[in-house]
Copies of this chain bind each other. A is one copy, B any other.
Amino acid sequence: MNLPPPIYKIIQQLEKLPSIGPRQAMRLAFYLIAQGQNEIKSFAQDLNSLLSVKNCAQCFFVHQNPDNLCDICGNKSRKKELIAVLEKETDLISIERTKKFHGRYFILGPIAKTGILEEWQKLRLQNLKSFIQKELNGQAEEIILAFSPTANGDFNVSLLIKELAPLAKKISRLGRGLPTGGEIEFADDETLGEALNNRG
Name A residues whose Cβ lies closer than 8 Å to a Cβ of B. Answer: 1-7, 9-10, 12-13, 17-19, 23-24, 26-34, 37, 40-53, 62-64, 71-72, 88-90, 93, 96-97, 109
Checking B7, B41, B64, B71 against A62 with a beta-carbon cut-off of 8 angstroms, the contacting residue is B7
A19: which B residues are within 8 A, CB to CB?
Answer: 24, 27
Assess whether A89 is in contact with B30, with CB atoms less than 8 Å apart: yes
Assess whether A53 is in contact with B6, with CB atoms less than 8 Å apart: yes
Complex Cα distance A19/B56, Å? 32
**Could you tell me the distance in whole angstroms from the C-beta of A145 to the nearest C-beta in chain B?**
20
A17: which B residues are within 8 A, CB to CB?
Answer: 28, 31-32
Assess whether A1 is in contact with B96, with CB atoms less than 8 Å apart: yes
Given A2-B71, A4-B64, A90 contacting B30 (CB threshold 8 A): yes
Task: Give 6 nearest A-B pairs by CB, closest first.
Answer: A44-B47, A6-B49, A4-B64, A9-B46, A44-B44, A1-B96
A64: which B residues are within 8 A, CB to CB?
Answer: 4-6
Assess whether A3 is in contact with B62, with CB atoms less than 8 Å apart: yes
New contact pairs (6) apart from A27-B90, A33-B50, CB-CB < 8 Å: A3-B93, A13-B42, A18-B27, A30-B62, A43-B47, A47-B47
Complex Cα distance A72/B3, Å? 11
Given A48-B41, A48-B44, A53 contacting B26 (CB threshold 8 A): no
A7: which B residues are within 8 A, CB to CB?
Answer: 50, 53, 62
Complex Cα distance A15/B42, Å? 14
